[in-house]
A and B are shown apart, each in its own frame.
Chain A
């Protein structure tokens, strides 16, 4: 019985470098497949995927799963599951191989693998290391820095019950700085920002603070900053459109942004060229056979600058190429979202009821619907429904998606 309630990871999308993604058959997987576990005792607790490789962070389970019904809400569920103890192992799969012990967190990018490791020696502070992915975590890192002990203590105190850090990479413990795959690696953050979560897109950054406010900065040519212009912002700037609405999650895609409010609403903004904002996009409208626009599950869009308007060529009247302000998205059946993650040009959202919705670019199967079609509306991944699996967490690589799901109680 206990084993049935154990969670496990599933993957789908691009695996052209042989990165572990389900069966790893071929170069892409279009439907979710369970990840083959490295060993039964070690449990993968977080996944960070870059384009050509994935970093798995796994830990030993500290104890058996408690009896009784599992909570249904994913957030509660994570704290109910026994917390993995201590630091774990990072394993790389794909164009980068290798493993390392004593790791608390890992963050993968094409140019850099960033790892937060336990300090060497007793009482030593944790160490932040940046490695070349091809180094297989052997030899010396490209760059290393000891984490200030106060910051580390803060970090542990704020952590969620599941053992994942409250402030995952690329945000550093203490939230005074973050790592970037581009030089300079180490980037300080103003302490008054009180960052809780930081996400990096291709040209921009999103920050969620303790009060649930969202900040953005960096390049803005695709509207991904959400301030209503296409101008770049050199410093973190508060998203005024969302001021006063406490957010629970932020996620940054290649050129788009998503956030989830405490009450379960989803907001999207930025580039919509493949429908990654779940707004109608011209390329898909032209591909579709029907003349009238698709409006499944979409309503209540926020203010925004529309792209092409009134095109009689067969495309619907309001296709949107760029959305420079946050737009409110309604999930089908009025579902509440709890988690979100973005790939390069796609979006994935987990609902309170444990369903997974995906939309955007689908050419490599990263939407998980069994095909390679892109979609510009939120679409439920039926695999989890069919298998009685409750989605709990999601983590997107640029062209793929990893989902952590738990078997549902059969009533």
Chain B
């Protein structure tokens, strides 16, 4: 209980600790990870030590031990290619994040402490692997609830709602899309019709009326996102395009991202791109649906990945190819998409060399490793069909999956994305097929 009125103490710190403790097993013997032989004996020693210290209430010593575990497992996460990193190291990392978060919340603190704890928790969610029944997600939910309950509404300068009317005509021009080759539009076709005319022959299409009823269409705004997810840490791509030399990935909270790259005359381009935001923040997932058409895919429903794209005008994703089929839903703002069919692959040149992208630093002890798009990358030489989407339309677009990638040619259709002229750009991409 806070006596000092100057401290921004959250109400009910006692319940926070109780809620967090309730997630953990009662005895230290039960808090165990089953780890393979790939994890060094020395790490197992430290894990045991950290667990013991936590249950004995030796908070600062526990923090010291978990810090060493965090740093060591972080080094493992940075060794080799990300997809080859042993999942056990990611689990060690998550476990260390869990203990650190718990330790930070043990003593009564102010909103800053809880926000710091949430940041650690998010690092575990972003870079670690699920442990103990996805405990980090539950911890994040509890921390977020407590942060929100302590917040006063409308903090800081009032932010204007981005709307179509207030769209700036920025540096990006809107291409002319009056062309007979525009992607066709259908209103809620049946599953069979869609499969026969578009899925099987691998043709793109815009489906209207499918996502009209999704809550996000009414609820989402900058303020809403800030309220629901403002204190969560997310990966942001900084730089005009990821083929540029000065492109980098950084981690920051959603509030920081909005403040630095959406509002306040941003100096750089920052793009929250291709991030599984809805796994990290289930509160947002409740506002979206999954198109029925996704069930036509070969894979299981669990294999559907849902990514979020959130950025200012002027973000560009260079021509590329995705290994999966995609549905794209544009919630706010406008996006210009250009598609090339497989027949035009002769005119498209993949980059000769590996992408020279700079792994960036995102803080004293973190970096983010995921490559956003698979190689190779393609440059356009010939215009084919164009598509342009207004924000009031619900868009579903779809690309075919590639066959074998042969050098210097591309057997499947490719995509150039460019968003323009609106204040804000939020889209969701569902990837139902593998």
Contact = CB atoms under 8 A, between A and B. Distances in A.
Interface stretch (A208-216, A308-316, A348-356, A379-387): A308-316
B364 A230 contact: no
Given A282-B361, A310-B246, A110 B75 contact: no
Interface in B177-204: none
Interface string A367-380: 00000001000000
Given A51-B72, A95-B45, A344-B75, A321 B80 contact: no
B71 interface: yes
Interface string B388-414: 000000000000000000000000000
B64 A321 contact: no
A127 B343 CA distance: 64
B354 A230 contact: yes
Interface in B349-363: 353-354, 356, 358-361, 363
Interface in B35-49: 40-42, 45-46
Interface string B65-78: 10010011001001
B248 interface: yes
A134 interface: yes
Contacts of A14: 68
Q: Which of B42, B268, B365 has the most CB of A within 10 A?
A: B42
A219 B367 contact: no
Contact of B68 (A16, A287, A312, A374): A16
B75 A273 contact: no
Interface in B322-368: 353-354, 356, 358-361, 363-365, 367
A307 interface: yes
A103 B318 CA distance: 59
Contacts of A219: 80
Nearest to B364: A283
B363 A283 contact: yes
Interface residues of A, number: 45
A202 interface: yes
Nearest to A313: B267
Given A229-B354, A311-B268, A321-B361, A51 B42 contact: yes
Which of A16, A231, A322, A398 has the most chain B CB atoms closer than 10 A to its own CB?
A16
Interface in A47-73: 51-53
B8 interface: no
Contacts of B361: 273, 281-283, 321
B245 interface: yes
B79 interface: yes
Interface in A133-150: 133-134
Interface string A331-372: 000000000000010000000000000000001100000000
A364 B365 CA distance: 13
A282 B361 CA distance: 7
Contact of B358 (A111, A307, A398): A307
Interface in A289-334: 305-313, 321-322
A222 interface: yes
A222, A229, A230, A287: residue with the most chain B Cβ atoms closer than 10 Å: A230
A203 interface: yes
B179 to A, nearest CB: 38
Contacts of B367: 273
Contact of B80 (A134, A203, A308): A203
Contact of A307 (B72, B78, B360, B365): B360
Interface in A15-29: 16-17, 27
Given A202-B79, A307-B246, A363-B71, A321 B360 contact: yes
Q: Binding site of B, secondary structure by majority: helix, strand, loop or mixed?
A: loop
A398 B71 CA distance: 11
Contact of B75 (A202, A229, A312): A202
Interface in B57-110: 64-65, 68, 71-72, 75, 78-81
A309 B358 contact: no
Nearest to B363: A283
Nearest to B79: A202
Interface in B269-290: none
Contacts of B81: 221
A255 interface: yes
Contacts of A307: 246, 248, 358, 360
A186 B245 CA distance: 39
B401 to A, nearest CB: 28
Nearest to A374: B364
Nearest to B250: A282
A254 interface: yes
B348 to A, nearest CB: 23
B78 A95 contact: no
A230 B356 contact: yes
Contact of A305 (B45, B78, B245): B245
A222 B81 CA distance: 11
A52 B42 contact: yes
A133 B45 CA distance: 13
Contact of A52 (B40, B78, B245): B40
Contacts of A111: 40
B358 A110 contact: no
Contacts of A310: 246
A313 B268 CA distance: 9
Most buried by A among B46, B72, B81, B268: B72
Contacts of B268: 311, 313
Contacts of A287: 364
B249 to A, nearest CB: 11
Contact of B359 (A16, A202, A229, A321): A321
A134 B79 contact: no
B369 to A, nearest CB: 9
Contacts of B358: 305, 307-308, 321-322
A311 B353 CA distance: 27
Contacts of B80: 203, 219
B257 to A, nearest CB: 13
Nearest to A96: B42
A321 B356 CA distance: 12
A229 B80 CA distance: 16
B359 A222 contact: yes
A314 B364 CA distance: 17
The 10 closest A-B pairs by CB, nearest first: A52-B42, A283-B361, A95-B42, A307-B358, A110-B40, A321-B358, A309-B246, A273-B361, A16-B68, A312-B267
Given A305-B358, A321-B358, 11 more contacts: A16-B46, A17-B42, A17-B45, A51-B42, A51-B72, A95-B41, A231-B353, A283-B363, A307-B246, A308-B358, A312-B267
27 contacts: A16-B68, A17-B45, A27-B64, A51-B42, A111-B40, A133-B41, A202-B75, A221-B81, A229-B353, A230-B354, A231-B353, A231-B354, A254-B75, A271-B359, A273-B361, A282-B361, A305-B356, A305-B358, A307-B248, A308-B248, A308-B358, A321-B358, A321-B360, A322-B358, A363-B364, A363-B365, A398-B75
